[in-house]
């Protein structure tokens, strides 16, 4: 059951992802009940599904058989009668498609409804099934620790922790899933993956888009809550965790949680030394002028909401003591990219230049999106002449797809959920630790208004202070653009 079946997420991601699974023969006995406020017939809903698959995937196949599995139920989330009607249809469909009482509830709706729906699912009998029941829940999971706890308590009355699948769509991305394999399947990396050999790690997730139509939501969120609490911290955890004993959901999640437990809490005045916030002003993107954030629809003219965050994380354990993990993320930046740069320490002495020129450090770049791949930056002898060293790059390119939040990510996550594999979903402990961390930053920011907003030009890589954050430690942000050259071309 998809709650919010007439919404943007269902249309752009969920229906195309379901079709891909169907096409790959991964859906055998299945039916989907779309639930939303509007009144629609089954046929109209099926036509919506057909249109969404055609426009997202550009296919011309006959979709009649696929869409015949889709049903629609108009619904009021606060009204028990709606749930009783839904239960009746679901019970009939269960028999018709031999679903063995297995049920997945996907909440693709505004988060304020999550708790209400979960409570009704239980009180109105929809969770009384003979098979499995699972709840898939979209972000944001609360807007701070207190609201996340409240929401969690509500959904836990109807579902146990192992039945809850909290989506972080970054965990559906091919190269995010690959971090673990690159680390734990290569003898040349794991021995070096610590503070003796790594000088710093940088994660950039930048967008060229502005806030678009999401001004109302974004004003209450900002980049810290929208990106750092979930996606950025999840990538940090995957990069920093210890090798799990086994590749089971519990083992992997407990190693990630241990990273969060070792994360140094930053609070009060310290925040200034570790985090930088920004808000975009006017500028140009692809040669076109774009307005400042404060002029976007549904945004306050004096808004103090950050559209950019740069930060430094310290992980206080044996492996990582002394190694900064830098992150930056923002809207209206110069490039649309998500990349991880692992910078190795300099070798003790440079034999290969007579002048002051320094050797490039070795870098391992993990390209998350839009390119998917890895590049290893090494030094090698320049062809001919002297023993001059020059940088060479070894690249591996996944045959990646080019869209942010690609349906493929959702396709993997949906399939995982159907198989009952929760590894790439966020456990409550991870949510709680990351909110506890982020709440301290937002508390400081809320009491100290930024008086120089907007402080970066649209189409730039963020405010100057973000560069200074890294420079004061003796580093600089590796440029994200010219790192792509060898990948996926």
Contact between 8 and ligand NAD (CB under 6 A)?
yes
**DSSP symbol at 290:** E
Q: Is 186 in a helix, a strand, or coil? A: coil
Compute the chain's Rg from CA coordinates: 24
Residues 6+ apart with CB under 8 A from 237: 256, 259, 260, 430
Distance of CA 171 to the CA centre of its chain: 6
Contact between 5 and ligand NAD (CB under 6 A)?
yes
User: Toward ligand NAD, which CB reaches closer, 10 or 458?
Assistant: 10
| Range in contact with ligand NAD (rule: CB under 6 A) among 31-39, 253-261, 280-288, 470-478 | 31-39
Residue identified by tokens 């579902």 is 159
Handedness of CA 124, 144, 162, 25 (dihedral sign): positive
Per-residue contact string for residues 138-177; x = within reach of ligand NAD by CB under 6 A: xx--------------------------------------
Q: Which two tokens stand for residue 61?
A: 């196949």
Contact between 7 and ligand NAD (CB under 6 A)?
yes
Per-residue contact string for residues 75-94; x = within reach of ligand NAD by CB under 6 A: xxx-----------------
Per-residue contact string for residues 404-443; x = within reach of ligand NAD by CB under 6 A: -x--------------------------------------
Work out how close the CB of 99 gets to ligand NAD at its nearest, in angstroms, rounded to a whole number: 23
Work out how close the CB of 77 gets to ligand NAD at its nearest, in angstroms, rounded to a whole number: 4
**DSSP symbol at 346:** P
Contact between 215 and ligand NAD (CB under 6 A)?
no
Contact between 6 and ligand NAD (CB under 6 A)?
yes
Q: Which two tokens stand for residue 326?
A: 């830098």
Residues 6+ apart with CB under 8 A from 270: none
Indicate the pairing of strand 363-369 with strand 133-137. unpaired
User: Toward ligand NAD, which CB reaches closer, 130 or 402?
Assistant: 402
Contact between 125 and ligand NAD (CB under 6 A)?
no
Contact between 33 and ligand NAD (CB under 6 A)?
no
**DSSP symbol at 34:** E
% helix / strand / coil in the chain, to the nearest 5? 40, 20, 40
Indicate if 231 belongs to the active site: yes
Q: Which residues ranging from 37 to 66 are in contact with ligand NAD (CB under 6 A)? A: 37-38
Q: Which of 63, 108, 310, 323 binds ligand NAD (CB under 6 A)?
A: 108
| Range in contact with ligand NAD (rule: CB under 6 A) among 72-80, 226-234, 306-314, 465-473 | 72-80
Work out the angle at residue 241's Cα, subtended by the Cα atoms of residues 236 and 247, and round it to the nearest 5 degrees: 120
Q: Which of 1, 4, 312, 478 binds ligand NAD (CB under 6 A)?
A: 4
Contact by Cβ (8 Å): 147, 118: no
Q: Is 58 in a helix, a strand, or coil? A: coil
Of the residues 69, 143, 231, 367, which is catalytic? 231
**Element holding 364 (H helix, E strand):** strand 363-369
Work out how close the CB of 351 gets to ligand NAD at its nearest, in angstroms, rounded to a whole number: 51
| Range in contact with ligand NAD (rule: CB under 6 A) among 102-110, 255-263, 421-429, 465-473 | 102-110
The candidate with the shortest Cα–Cα distance to 303, out of 284, 277, 327, is 277
Q: Which residues are catalytic?
A: 231
Residues in contact with ligand NAD by the rule CB under 6 A: 4-10, 12, 36-38, 75-77, 108-111, 138-139, 405
């Amino acid at each position: 059951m998809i709650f919010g079946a007439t919404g943007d997420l269902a249309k752009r991601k969920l229906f195309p992802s379901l079709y891909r699974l169907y096409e790959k023969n991964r859906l055998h006995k299945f039916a989907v009940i779309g639930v939303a406020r509007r009144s629609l017939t089954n046929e109209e809903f099926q036509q919506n599904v057909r249109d969404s698959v055609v426009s997202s995937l550009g296919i011309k196949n006959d979709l009649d058989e696929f869409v015949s599995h889709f049903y629609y139920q108009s619904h009021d989330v606060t009204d028990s009668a709606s749930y009783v009607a839904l239960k009746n249809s679901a019970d009939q469909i269960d028999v018709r498609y031999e679903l063995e009482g297995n049920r997945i509830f996907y909440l693709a709706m505004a988060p304020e409804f999550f708790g209400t729906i979960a409570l009704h699912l239980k009180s109105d009998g929809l969770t009384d099934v003979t098979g499995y029941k699972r709840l898939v829940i979209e972000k944001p999971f609360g807007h701070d620790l207190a609201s996340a706890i409240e929401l969690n308590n509500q959904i836990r009355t109807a579902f146990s922790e192992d039945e809850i699948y909290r989506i972080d769509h970054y965990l559906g991305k091919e190269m995010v899933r690959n971090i673990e394999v690159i680390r734990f399947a290569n003898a040349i990396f794991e021995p070096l993956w610590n503070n003796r050999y790594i000088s710093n790690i940088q994660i950039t997730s930048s967008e060229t888009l502005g806030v678009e139509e999401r001004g109302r939501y974004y004003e209450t969120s900002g980049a810290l809550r929208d990106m750092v609490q979930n996606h950025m911290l999840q990538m940090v955890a995957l990069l920093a965790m210890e090798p799990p004993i086994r590749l089971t959901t519990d083992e992997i999640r407990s190693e990630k949680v241990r990273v969060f437990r070792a994360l140094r809490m930053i609070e009060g005045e310290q925040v200034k030394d570790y985090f930088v916030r920004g808000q975009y002003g006017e500028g140009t993107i692809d040669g076109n002028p774009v307005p400042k954030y404060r002029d976007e629809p549904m945004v306050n003219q004096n808004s103090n909401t950050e559209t950019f965050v740069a930060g430094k994380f310290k992980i206080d354990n044996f492996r990582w003591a002394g190694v900064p993990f830098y992150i930056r993320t923002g809207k209206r930046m110069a490039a649309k990219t998500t990349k991880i740069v692992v910078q190795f320490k300099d070798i003790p002495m440079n034999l290969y230049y007579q002048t002051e020129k320094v050797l490039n450090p070795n870098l391992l770049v993990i390209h998350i999106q839009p390119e998917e791949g890895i590049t290893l930056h090494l030094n090698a002898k320049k062809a001919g002449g002297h023993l001059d060293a020059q940088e060479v790059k070894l690249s591996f390119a996944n045959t990646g797809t080019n869209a942010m939040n690609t349906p493929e990510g959702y396709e993997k996550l949906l399939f995982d959920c159907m198989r009952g594999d929760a590894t790439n979903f966020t456990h409550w402990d991870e949510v709680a630790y990351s909110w506890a961390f982020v709440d301290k930053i937002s508390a400081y920011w809320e009491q100290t208004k930024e008086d120089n907003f907007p402080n970066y030009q649209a189409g730039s890589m963020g405010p100057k202070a973000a560069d200074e954050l890294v420079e004061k430690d003796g580093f600089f942000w590796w440029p994200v653009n010219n790192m792509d050259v060898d990948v996926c071309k």
